[in-house]
Amino acid sequence: MLGIPEQVTIRGGQPLDGSVHAPPSKSHTHRALIAASLSPEKSWIHNPSLCEDVQATVQAVEAYGAEVIFENGPLIVSGVDHIRLPNNVVDCRESGSTMRFVTPILAHAEGISVVTGEASLRRRPMQPLIDSLRQLGVECYSARKDGRPPLVLFGGTYKGGKVRIVGDISSQFISGLLFSGSIAGEPTSIEVTPVLESAPYVGMTIKVLKCHGIQIDANVDMTRFSIDGGQTPSSYDHVIEGDYSSAAFLLAAGAITGSEVGVFGLPTERSSQGDSEVVSLLRGMRADVHADGGTVRVRSSRLRGMKIDASDCPDLVPPLAVVACCAEGTTKIVNAQRLRMKESNRLKALSSELSKMGAKICDTDDGFEIVGRSLLKGATVNSHGDHRVAMSCAVAALAAKGETILDGAGCVAKSYPSFFDDLKTLGGDISGR
């Protein structure tokens, strides 16, 4: 598809077949961009994601002085020797990662910075980050005094020291503090309470920073971190991994449509992505999954429901909820309450839209309870402006009887611009206008 239509029609009931290349990891690209922007040397980022969220990060790092060049291949990043005061408001669009990574970095810019975004981002909680920056000597405020963006920082006062922050709202807060601490003149120590959820993504941040020569000490359960002051990130050439968060939707589609689907370009050994857990979780639901040599392949089989703890992989909840609708028995998804604070109330939105298609799904306080083997049928559904809701509805539509009309489909560009093209490559009957 040239451009992504806002309304997509999907005709279900046809098996998929074939293989597609996984899109580049958005999470890895964000972190590589940020780390490279903090080095006064030049770095290359090969196979980058160019989704809308990453474009927001490119603009943000350029706002504090980095230069990013794209020449039909890698991103070439010339970083900064000091964080410059942006000339204008920093607009993070809809990217929570961008805001949570860049805001602590702007604490090092002399003067007043304002960080904001589009309406959905301005609804998302930022108070833990505000509180942590204040503990480090930085004046930081919510402009509306509600703990949400726009955020106002009086930079140049970062004094380092000890900071405590909650770890069950967003691990991105901790990643942002690690990026900021990596260029601070004074040591920084971070204590996370009570536990850190989505810990693998903080692990990815540490791994990327270590590639740039930054030393970070962390305890085994990743609740305490320490960073020496006076470090200078070096250059590094990154090769971005294929994205499990996006590939999960393709694998889910293969599992529920009587199909055989392969996704290549994924790290099948020692991936730093928390969402690589999708392979184990699909196997736990008795899907026929093989992962080897950079390819994950799934064949349809008789699926069974199970209990899924989403503490470290909340982005897998939407595709796995669809798989659960087609599996025998009951699936309970727990520890996913953070999904109420995404681009939409993702638990409520998924429950509402999948129910329109005949799914027996209800959202609970912290997840879903799904009675499987529902006979899904075509319906008119809405994305709620949420890329993962849109992709979930599309996957469900492939397994449904009849025709499904998906309104608001264009939001998939936020993370996976080629999503509908890839489904069509696999044989999905999809048209749009």
Q: Which residues are catalytic?
A: 315
How many angstroms separate the CA atoms of 86 and 149, rounded? 17
**Eight-class DSSP state of 276:** G
Whether the Cβ atoms of residue 91 and residue 59 lie closer than 8 Å to each other: yes
Please state the φ and ψ torsions of residue 111, each to the nearest 5 degrees: 125, -165
Burial of residue 2 (CB within 10 Å: 0-12, 13-18, 19+) is exposed
Closest C-alpha to 326, from 263, 255, 393: 255
State whether residue 313 is helix, strand or coil: coil
Closest C-alpha to 291, from 321, 323, 269: 269
Closest C-alpha to 247, from 414, 391, 70, 413: 391
Please state the φ and ψ torsions of residue 302, each to the nearest 5 degrees: -80, 110
Longest dimension (CA), the chain: 62
Angle, helices 172-181 vs 199-211, to 10°: value is 20
How many angstroms separate the CA atoms of 91 and 250, rounded? 31
Alpha-helical runs (H) found in 142-238: 172-181, 199-211
From residue 292, give the alpha-carbon distance in Å to each of 206, 253, 328: 26, 20, 28
Amino acid present at 118: E
Whether the Cβ atoms of residue 157 and residue 138 lie closer than 8 Å to each other: yes
Buried-state track 122-156, b at ≥16 Cβ within 10 A, e below 16: bbbbbebbbbbbeebebebebeeeebbbbbbbebb
Whether the Cβ atoms of residue 310 and residue 367 lie closer than 8 Å to each other: yes
How many angstroms separate the CA atoms of 10 and 18, rounded? 18
